[in-house]
Amino acid sequence: MRNRVKELRARHDWNQTELAKRAGMSRQTISLIERNEYMPSILIAMKLARVFEEPVESIFMFDEEELR
Amino acid sequence: MKKYTRSFVLGGVGGFLIAVFLLAQEIELPFDTKIEWLVGGSVAVAAAVFGIAFVRLQRLKKAVATKGMQVEEDERDRWIAIQSSHIADWLMGGLITSLFTFGVSAMYYEWTPTWLIFGLGAYFLFQLVYIRVAMKQLLLLSHPDIDIPEDLNVLPLMDEGEKFVMYEGMMKAYQVMSQLLLLSIILTIMYGAWTNTTQLFPILLMSFIYLIGHGAYQKTYRHLQY
């Protein structure tokens, strides 16, 4: 799975701490997601989608092989 | 001199001085037996480890308070988290070392009350109290925005990412510690058979510690499940 969290965060000119506060989660969780070391739950994904004002599927993208 | 080398040397010097003071009361220098060397060395190591943990914690608090780090907030938070983790490791190492030191000296002197055993027992109890104080300070440094509970149980306050990291670390630490403990039990049994001596007490004690550790791990694991 890939995600655009870091890209969207940079677009809004937020650091991880600021994004974490806006999304209601820890900076550590943001860092794990950006480094693809952790697959977030639906709740976390929805929170990030709301903060970035983008659909969840445009932020978190699966490869075709993973969806089979 | 690098700052960590300096703190290590400071801890080592402090530990050596404390060891000499304690042991001069009970053991005539130079040490005559290997066990006396072991006790002396253990005292020095225990004091050195505590010294390192204490110095590093004070340095971290000073760095955070003065905001001397000219880095981005993310890098600063990450640095604090890493330093806190290292300091927590040193604190646990100091606690284990002090317990080992107390145990070895007590067995050497066959539990006869001496100032050395009392001193080392008191030092272990001090470590138990200090580690709690230090852990609260570390939590305040790494999580300045949350209210730390009195029992230091921050698991309910963690989000899933933090629980994930803690779970990963806990798994590795538990596996290493449980394997070391089991190896110690096996070696103790073999030692008892080799020397034809009863090692029932240490085996029972280590088995009890293993069960307690396993129970604590299971309890924390259930909290971390998400």
pLDDT in tens, B157-194: 778 888 887 777 777 777 777 888 888 888 888 888 88
- Per residue in B86-141, pLDDT (tens digit) is 888 888 888 878 887 777 777 766 666 677 777 778 888 888 888 888 888 888 87
Give me the mean pLDDT over the A47-64 stretch: 89
Q: How many residues does chain B have?
A: 226
> Which has more confidence, B139 or B70?
B139
How close is the nearest chain B Cα to the Cα of A41, in Å? 8
**Chain B residues whose beta carbon lies within 8 Å of the beta carbon of residue A6:** none
Backbone angles phi, psi at A60, to 5 degrees: -115, 120
Q: What is the ipTM of this complex?
A: 0.76
How many CB atoms sit inside 10 A of residue B78's CB? 16
**Chain B residues whose beta carbon lies within 8 Å of the beta carbon of residue A17:** 73-74, 77
B74–A15 C-beta distance less than 8 A: yes
Helix axis angle, B160-195 to B200-224, nearest 10°: 170
**Which of A15, A17, A38 lies nearest to residue B161, judging by beta carbons?**
A38
Query: Distance (Å, rounded) from C-alpha A56 to C-alpha B78?
Result: 27
- Per residue in A2-47, pLDDT (tens digit) is 899 999 999 999 988 889 989 988 888 898 899 888 888 899 999 9
Tokens found for residue B9? 């040397």
pLDDT at A7: 92
Task: Return the residue of A nearest to B82 by Cα.
Answer: A28
Give me the mean pLDDT over the B194-204 stretch: 80
**Which of B74, B159, B162 lies nearest to residue A16, judging by beta carbons?**
B74
B158–A26 C-beta distance less than 8 A: yes
Residues of A with CB under 8 A from a CB of B: 15-17, 25-33, 38, 40-41, 44
- Contacting residues for B78 by C-beta, under 8 A, at least 6 apart: A31
> Which has more confidence, B49 or A50?
A50
Short-list B1, B93, B103, CA closest to B47: B93
pLDDT at B93: 81
Query: Distance (Å, rounded) from C-alpha A49 to C-alpha B160?
Result: 17
pLDDT at B1: 45
Tokens found for residue B1? 């001199």
* Percentage of the residues of chain B whose pLDDT score is greater than 70: 73
pLDDT at B157: 74
Most confident of A18-32, B22-36, B41-55, B61-75: A18-32
pLDDT at B117: 76
pLDDT at B67: 63
pLDDT at B30: 53
Q: Could you give the C-alpha distances from A57 to A39, A68, B88, B96, in angstroms and in order?
A: 14, 17, 40, 49
CB of B79 less than 8 A from some CB of A: no
Helix, strand, or coil (residue B158): coil
pLDDT at B26: 60
Which of B165, B166, B167, B168 to probe the A interface (max A CBs under 10 A)?
B165
- Per residue in A31-43, pLDDT (tens digit) is 889 988 888 889 9
Report whether pLDDT(A68) > 70: no
Largest Cα–Cα separation, chain B: 63
Which CATH entry fits the domain spanning A2-67: 1.10.260.40, 3.50.50.60, 3.40.50.300, 3.40.50.720? Answer: 1.10.260.40
Report whether pLDDT(B19) > 50: yes
CB of B72 less than 8 A from some CB of A: yes
Task: Return the residue of B nearest to A26 by Cα.
Answer: B159
Q: Could you give the C-alpha distances from B183 to B89, B169, B187, B208, in angstroms and in order?
A: 22, 21, 6, 15
* Percentage of the residues of chain B whose pLDDT score is greater than 90: 0
**Which of B77, B164, B226 lies nearest to residue A32, judging by beta carbons?**
B164
pLDDT at B83: 84
- Mean pLDDT check: name the lowest of A56-60, B33-37, B81-85: B33-37
